[in-house]
Chains A and B, each alone.
Chain A
Amino acid sequence: MLELDFMRMAFAAGSVVGLLAPAVGFFVVQRRMSLIGDGIGHTAFAGVAFGYLVGLSPVLTALVAAVGGAVAVEWLRARRGTAGDQALALLFYTGLAAGVVLVSAAGRFDAGLFAFLFGAILTVTTSDLVLVAVLGAVGLATIGLLYRALAGIALDEEGAHVAGVPVALLNVLLAALVGLTVAISMRIVGILLVAALMVLPVIAASRVARSMRASFLLALALGLASVWIGLTVSYYGNLAAGGAIVLVAAAFVLAATAAGSVTRGRVPAR
């Protein structure tokens, strides 16, 4: 399998996404905004459609739309007092509607569009890989540097605010990282499934880990394993890669839930 160029390319790009998606998703899940990736995915769809319409790279226009949408959600939530789920709903439906209108205007309801919606990891090019690697490295380095601050805000946002931590700035930065993750992951798992890779490994890890750091590192390992196993299954089974990756991640959640129940059953009652 790995003697094929396109599979090596798929594994390389998939590995970056397999690490970055749960790394960013970890802090989103702790803040109970698990669906933000889904909402931003729909904004990215509008970006892809805009790229088609004006003849620009759909990946770059999706990147701008996704980061802009994510920052808009955070602004609505924090500054305008809009409830998190309402801000997401506004983004979700507006993004989808704008995408449909723009795609119809561009006359591009075709296989190229489906590649963005459902992922087309086997068509990843060298320039795609470079973009994914560079942006992925920036995202992971940012998370690594700010891990303690983002974890502290997830535990007690109000306390951090009172202590003078720049909570609003860090929240906007996290939102921008969500947008970045969505944009670079869409060629791998597709706009409609990218949020799953941000959330499912994190949920699985939190079922069994006994500390925040262990949960974070395990989520990254499960994200990576989901991509590797999913790609392998998709290659040998001739199945859609994005769907296979997400189903593996879902299987990890089921297994971790079962393992967590057994472990908790062994812990003496408090």
Chain B
Amino acid sequence: MTPAIELHGVDYAYDGGPPVLRDACLTVEEGEFVAIAGPNGGGKTTLLRILLGLARPAAGTALLFGEPAHRFSRRATLGYLAQRSRLGTDAPATVREVVSAGRLAAGGLLGPLRAGDKAIVARAIADVGLEEKADAPLATLSGGQQQRAFIAKALAAEPSLLVLDEPTAGVDPGAQESLARLLERLHRERQVTVLYVSHEFGAVENVVRRLVLVRGGIVFDGPPSDLPGAWHDPSHVHA
């Protein structure tokens, strides 16, 4: 089977600056749940941008489902949760309106949403447990519930790859655990490939079998239990 993600010997630097990534190699098979962690400035976001085809590596190749990532032809099947600061969480929108935006690429840009797309949106809302809040304004929800709404938005694309960038940032510890359990369940039930990117991985440590640490390159790739003791402490990951 073609891997969902393949990076081979990827180098990247911003505008003649020092390299942010060197010789990064990563293969993620379809159906895996992988956490990508590392310190701020370590290259996680750059890695993410390259594997989503939003940035071209200076050297090496990036493939999405076997196609060059920057020319990937089935983008409508990518579910992506951007960092919270980049989301319009203060827009006067309901949960349903936010989740409906996830059908934009798959459902077409023009005119109102079709009945079949509305059903997919309703299922995504139910999957994250927000049925009762479906028509509530986003601004009246807690931080954790808002993140669930945006996860539902990503699910509304019926994704083959779900990429979550810092999904637990700004969310209290209780809600972080709840989000981790939700993601584990969605991964299992929908059999979707999940990439969970965060500067710390405590919230998903117990639900992922594979952890990738990025620090100017990929410095660790394996089960969280194999992580060297010093790196296990999130404060070392931050360093």
Contact = CB atoms under 8 A, between A and B. Distances in A.
A160 B102 CA distance: 8
Q: Of residues B88, B106, B112, which shows the largest number of chain A Cβ atoms within 10 Å of its Cβ?
A: B88
Interface-central residue, B93, B111, B136, B141, by most chain A CB under 10 Å: B93
Interface in B80-136: 80-82, 86-88, 91-94, 97-98, 100-102, 104-106, 109-113, 135-136
A156 B106 CA distance: 15
A30 B88 contact: yes
Prevailing SS type, chain A contact patch:
helix
A259 interface: no
A166 B109 CA distance: 9
B104 A148 contact: yes
B206 interface: no
B54 interface: yes
Contacts of A128: none
A145 B140 contact: no
A157 interface: yes
What range describes how many residues of A lie at the interface?
Answer: 20 to 34
A164 B94 contact: no
A145 B110 contact: yes
Contacts of A163: 75-76, 78, 80, 102, 104-106, 157
Nearest to B72: A164
A173 to B, nearest CB: 11
Given A148-B112, A155-B98, A156-B82, A164 B105 contact: yes
Contacts of A221: none
Contacts of B106: 163
Interface residues of B, number: 39
A165 B104 contact: yes
Contacts of A214: 92
B154 interface: yes
A120 to B, nearest CB: 35
Interface in B127-170: 135-137, 140-142, 150, 153-154, 157, 163
A159 B150 CA distance: 10
Given A145-B111, A206-B92, A211-B93, A156 B140 contact: no
A36 B90 CA distance: 20
Given A162-B80, A212-B97, A146 B110 contact: yes
Contacts of B100: 148, 152
5 contacts: A152-B100, A155-B87, A160-B105, A163-B104, A165-B104
6 shortest interchain CB distances as A-B pairs = A164-B75, A152-B101, A163-B105, A158-B82, A162-B80, A212-B93
Interface of B: 52, 54, 75-76, 78, 80-82, 86-88, 91-94, 97-98, 100-102, 104-106, 109-113, 135-137, 140-142, 150, 153-154, 157, 163
